[in-house]
Every structure is written in C-alpha cells, then in structure tokens.
Structure 1
Amino acid sequence: MAKPKEKAATTTSKRARGGVRDIRITDVAALAQVSPITVSRALNNPEVVAPETLRRVQQMVQQLGYVPNRLAGSLSSSKSRLIAAIVPTIAHSLFSTSIQAFSDAMSRAGYQVLLGLSGYGEADELRVLDAALSRRPEGVLLVGVARTAPLRARLLSLQLPTVETWDDTDLQVDMLVGFSHYDVGVAVAQHFVERGRKRPAIVSAKDARARARHDGFVHAMARHGITDVAAASVTPPSSVALGREKLAEILDSRRDIDCVFCGSDLLALGVLGEARDHGIRVPDDLSVCGFGDLEFAAEMWPALTSVRVDGKRIGTAAAECLIARLKGARVESNVDVGFSIVARDTA
C-alpha cells in the first residue's frame, strides 16, 4: 500500500507547485451568469451578443485565463475560425495598414488572421499557402493576385472564400478588392505631360504590380509621341539608397531627363536626395512623383507629389467581403477602390 500513497503524494505535490486546472466553458458561463452557448457566441460571433453581456463574458474569460480549444471545435464543427493572409511583406506601411484594418474587422467578427509572409517570389506564395492550409483556414486573403497557374489552380480547388487585393485581374479566383496599377502609370504620365515634361524616366521594382505601373507609364508616354523613356529597376523591397543609386545610373547616360516616376515614396526620397547632390533643382529642372503617399510625403521639403491608395479601405472592404461570404450572403465580386494623384511641390 506504500507505493500508491507515494504516487498520490506526488500528484498532490505537482498541483501544489502550480499545475493549472483545466478551465472549461461552463466555468466562464457560471461566473458570467449566462449559458455556455452564450459564451460560445461571445467568443465566435461577438457581433450577435448584447454589449453588456459581451463585456461580462470577456471579463470572466480574462479573469479565469480561459483559452478556447479551437482544435476540438474545428473537429466537431469543421470550423477553425482562422483566415489565412498571404502577404509579400509587412515592412511596407501600405500593406501593414491594410492587414491591420483587415485583422481588426475579422477579429470583431470572431475570426483570427494567420499571417504568412511570402516575399516577392511567385513560387514562395504557393509554399506559404500550403503551410497555412495545414491549419484548415475558412478563407484566404492575398495581397496581390494569383498570377501563376499553379497558385490559381490550388486556390480554385480549395473552394474556400478567397479575396485578392491590391491589384486587378481578368482571371480573379473569387473576390477582388483593388485597383489598376496600369492605370496608375497612365495617370502619372498624363500628369507629367500636362506640365510640359517630355524627357521622362522611371525607377521601379521588378514585381508584377510595379511592372504594370511601368507599362502604363511607358505606353501613355508613347501615345504622346514620347518613346525614349529612361528606366531603372530594383529588386524589392524598395529603399532610399536604391532610389539614389538608380537615379545616379540614369544620369550617367541621360542628364537631360526632366521627370521621374518612382515606384515607391522611398525610391522617390532617394531620387530627390541624389538630384540635390547633382545640383538638379526640383521641380524647376526635374519633376518627381512617388507611389504610396506615405506620411512623410506631405511633411518633407519640397513636399512630394505621390499616388495615394487607401490601404485601410482595401483591408476593411476585403474583410467585409469575406465575412459576408462566410455567412452565405451574395457578395460583389469586384470592388475597385481607385487611386488619386496628390500634387505637391515636386511635380
């Protein structure tokens, strides 16, 4: 009989040293003075719970340290409450603004966002997506569109609510919230031409969205009879240093350029610095336009002309589309958020 007593004593000792009792949903319900189903709704569909009840449940969850068993829930209901978001980078504040707005909206609806960083390699997107799919998400968000056949085929085969963002395409997988990068390039070219600029240059990244802006810019210039466009490309992500480096390369062979379209505001900042070091006056000798309209664009001197895209609206609209689809509602499949050129001192 001695051995069983020793075993019991060991078990008691472990509990005394801090073993945590399994907190159940019924414990939360009892303290919050609601039913277990109300606790479940508060955790999974907070928008359907009365505000005071929701506050009480959340308070008890925090007080008890209750952690829902999402795995058990997914096994019984086939619902993971997860959304997979595949993003090239969060270093770009435009993308981070979108993802924050998207995550906030999904959280309010009772979903959690699983973030996967794919970089700018198209093959990596499929690898990251496959890793996210192992968690059985209920929906997918892409920053960008599925340009490769394997990625499109994988997304189509999933039959999951999917929203592509920050771009446009004629081959969308499901829902699309974005704008035309090609049209951005066209609009910037028109902006320069209207200001009498005839010797353009472009400094942009090599990813698909930047290439679309490049093509729109070059084609629009050609329609105005301007076919000699100096171009320099960078490997993403963009930086101030790369902007300096690429303008220096262009000036080595084309000192006569009178406008530069930059694929990001960071590149534009570098271009402005390099132009200053070469004694080039902005905007008298050289007009400069960026992309993104980051916070510093309006505060610097000279203030930077840039293309503004509402990243927060993209994230919110993407979440609204997914939430509606997950509830079984019909959803507008293509939302064009547009863009605008914010004209300031540099152009």
Structure 2
Amino acid sequence: MVKPTDSTALPTPKRSRRGSGAVTLHDVARLAAVAPITASRALNTPDQVSPEVRQRVAEAVAALGYVRNHQAGALASARSRLVAAVVPTLSGPVFGPMLQALTEALAGQGYQLMLGQSGYVDSREDALLDAIIGRRPDGIVLTGVMRSPEGRRRLLACGIPVVETWDLSPDPLDLLVGFSHAEVGRAVARFLAARGRRQLAVVAGDDERSQRREQAFCRAAAELGLPQVRVIRVPAPTTLQSGRRALAQWCAEGPPVEAVFCSSDLLALGVLTEAQARGLSVPQALAVVGFGDQDFAADLNPALSSVRIDGQAMGRQAAQWVVDRAEGRAIAERVVDLGFSLIERSST
C-alpha cells in the first residue's frame, strides 16, 4: 500500500470513468499526493523529481495497475517507439527467424514490435496498412515488395520509414533487404539437371513469390533442353497434405517424375511422406528439394535438401534501418541482397 507523506491519510481515489474506466495519471497523482505534472515527470523524466516522490509515484502505479499512455507521449515527441511488421501468415515457420531477430534487435534499442497478418490478398493487405498507418509507428516492415498500387500510394504518402523484405526489386518503396526468387528457381533447376535429372516437377503455392520461383525454374529447365516441367499449384499457405496430393497426382498421370522442387519445406515433407507410402526410394527414384531450410529439414530421413534464407540477418538489418531513420541517422545503402544457399542433403 502507498504510504502518505504526512500524518494525514489519503483517501482511496475513485477511478476515472473516461470511456472504459481505465486508471489515469490523475488517479496515480491523487494516490501519491502530488500534482499530475509531478507524477508525469516521475514516470517520464525521473531525474527532475526527488527519490521520495519517485517512490510514492511508483507505489501508486503498482497499487492501481496503471499503464502509461505511450500514445500521448508520442504526440509530444513525434516518436511512438513502435514498429509494425506485416507477414502473410503466422501458420508457417518460414518467417519465424526474421520476426525473432527483428523483435530482439528492436527491443535492444527500446522499440516494440506490432505484428499483423495480411494473408495473400492485396485488398486485405491494404486494409491492414490503413490501420497501421493510422497508429503512426516509427517504421513499417513488409514481407515482400508492395505491388498494390493503392498500397504503394498510401505508404509513399505517409512519411513513415518502410522496409520491404524477402524480395528484390529495381523500384523499392524506401528500403529493401532480401533475395531474388527468380535466382532461387534458376539455381534449383540447374542443380537438379547437373545431377542427371530430366523429368522435373514443381509443386508451388499460389502466392506471387512462389510463382516467380516456379516460373524461373521452368524457364531454366527449358533453356537446358529438358522436357516441359510438370507443375501443380496449391493454395497458400502450403501444407503437408498438398505435397502428398501433388505426388499422388503425378504418379497417377505418368510418366514418373525424377525430381520435385517444392515452394516450402512443408510441401517437401508431404512429397517425402507420399513417396515413402508408395515405396519410391529417395533420392534414387525421386529427388526432392524444399525451400526455407526449416529446423526439421536436416533431421528427416532422408534429410531434405533445401534453399536456406538468412531470416535472422534480414530481421537485424530491417531493425537497424528503422532505428537509424527514427533517430535521424543517414543510410548509405538502401538495398541489400542477402542471397541464399542451396543446402544439399540426402534427398537429392
């Protein structure tokens, strides 16, 4: 309990009933027996008040369960110390390393991350961006390049630093860290062809980035003189079941495929599961390559070959750019290509 500063006991303050009835700074000030401006200083600029006042205000905060209104402080300082990140899905693990690194790097410099899930539809992403921009975060981190004309217009007009990730573009909105999906597709096609695989197949999500990998894979296979690639597209976010169904369809249609490139490790796990159920030996009869190099890929039997993306480096770079912009530091390099690695394991 908060102790009064003199022999006169303080009455228990009534909670303000503004809107939701939340505890306010005025409630804290009354219980601590100080002026509201003094309570504010004790919380925001504690060096300006005595240790005794700081203690009384701290005890009042604890007693009332008060949470500071950071939005009010942001109005005065033009800084929210809040960064918004937008990802298409939270159900898959592929974006996890980037989000974890982004969260930790921002927290280390006094910023908090707000996360939004946009799905894979432009109109839904636009609506989410409207809600985010209205809260005036210090930065916005997007998964992929913003291609919606309306979304680009709003982001360019808002004046908030924007970092696009997981992609490359000759025309970034502001700042961009990622890799080339087309280069990934080409690299995997060449990798499989170099190992003597001719009958190639792709099972890919119907999102735009997966399709670019798929299309580049098919073009590279054609340039190498290989037969037409067999393609199955499945709804994003992709699932293990979709991978199983894709291989079952190819087996039913014939001729047999010799190698499959999957747009996610989860799809690849589905292909491996269906191959085992059908008695197809991997990699002798069928080579399988995934995308994302998730934690489970190396522990499968056979271990899954996959394309590794450095999501942690992506998150750290995005965080540093946002903080640099918020604190007025110049940014020399606005586009960073992190590349990718094709990790070869026993599935190929």
Q: TM-score range with shorter-chain normalisation? A: 0.7 to 0.9
Structure 2 match to 1:22: 28
Taking structure 1 as reference, are residues 33 and 269 closer, same or farther at Cα in structure 2, changes over 3 Å only?
closer
Deviation at 1:77, TM superposition (A): 2.3
Is 2:133–2:158's contact at 8 Å kept on the other side of the alignment? Answer: no
| Root-mean-square deviation over aligned CA pairs | 2.8
More displaced stretch, 27-36 vs 166-175? 27-36
Contact 2:28 2:60 (C-alpha < 8 Å) held by counterparts: no
CA distance in 2, matches of 1:169, 1:137: 24
Does the CA-based 8 Å contact 1:230-1:254 persist in structure 2? Answer: no
CA 1:36 to 1:210, structure 2 compared with 1: closer, same or farther past 3 Å?
farther
Q: Which moved more, 1:309-318 or 1:95-104?
A: 95-104
Do the aligned partners of residues 191 and 224 (structure 1) sit closer, same or farther apart at CA in structure 2, a change above 3 Å counting?
Answer: same
Q: 1:12 to 1:320 in 2, by over 3 A?
A: closer
Q: What is the Cα deviation at residue 146 of structure 1?
A: 0.3
Contact 2:232 2:246 survives alignment (8 Å): yes
SS in 1 for 2:94: helix
CA distance in 2, matches of 1:196, 1:144: 34
Q: Which residue of 2 aligns with 1:319?
A: 319
Mark the CA change 1:207 to 1:33 in structure 2 (over 3 Å): closer, same or farther.
closer
Whether the aligned pair in 1 keeps the contact of 2:265 and 2:306 (CA below 8 Å) is yes
Q: 1:14-163, aligned counterparts within 5 Å?
A: 21-22=27-28, 35-36=47-48, 67-163=67-163
Q: TM-score, normalized by length of structure 1?
A: 0.83
Specify the SS of the correspondent of 1:307: strand
**Partner residue in 1 for 2:295:** 295
SS of 1:90's partner is coil
Partner of 1:261: 261
Deviation (angstroms), 1:254 = 2.5
For 1:190 and 1:63, locate their aligned partners in 2 and report how far apart those are by CA, in whole Å: 63
Cα distance in structure 1, aligned partners of 2:13 and 2:147: 59
Partner of 1:83, secondary structure, is: strand
Q: d(CA) in 1 for partners of 2:312 and 2:41?
A: 36
Is the contact made by 2:197 and 2:259 (CA closer than 8 Å) also made in structure 1? Answer: yes
Structure whose residues are more often helix by fraction: 1
Q: Unpaired runs of 5+ in structure 2?
A: 1-10, 16-22, 30-35, 50-54
User: Are 1:333 and 2:334 an aligned pair?
Assistant: yes
Which residue type is aligned with residue 342 of structure 2? I
Fraction of identical pairs, as percent: 43
**Cα displacement string for residues 252-294 of structure 1 (whole angstroms, at most 9, x for unaligned residues):** 2233210000111110011011112222111001100000111
Verify the 8 A CA contact 2:250 2:256 in the aligned structure 1.
Answer: no
The aligned residue for residue 193 of structure 2 is 193
Q: Structure 1 pair 61/159, CA: closer, same or farther in 2 (3 Å)?
A: farther
**Residue 86 of structure 1 contacts residue 141 of structure 1 at CA under 8 Å; is this kept in 2?**
yes
Deviation (angstroms), 1:107: 1.9
Matched-pair contact (CA < 8 Å) for 2:198–2:227: no
User: Which residue in 1 is equivalent to 2:176?
Assistant: 176
Q: Alignment partner of 1:94: what SS?
A: coil
- Work out the CA distance in 1 between the residues paired with 2:61 and 2:298: 42
Corresponding pairs, count:
315
**Which residue matches 1:45?**
none
TM-score, normalisation: structure 2? 0.83
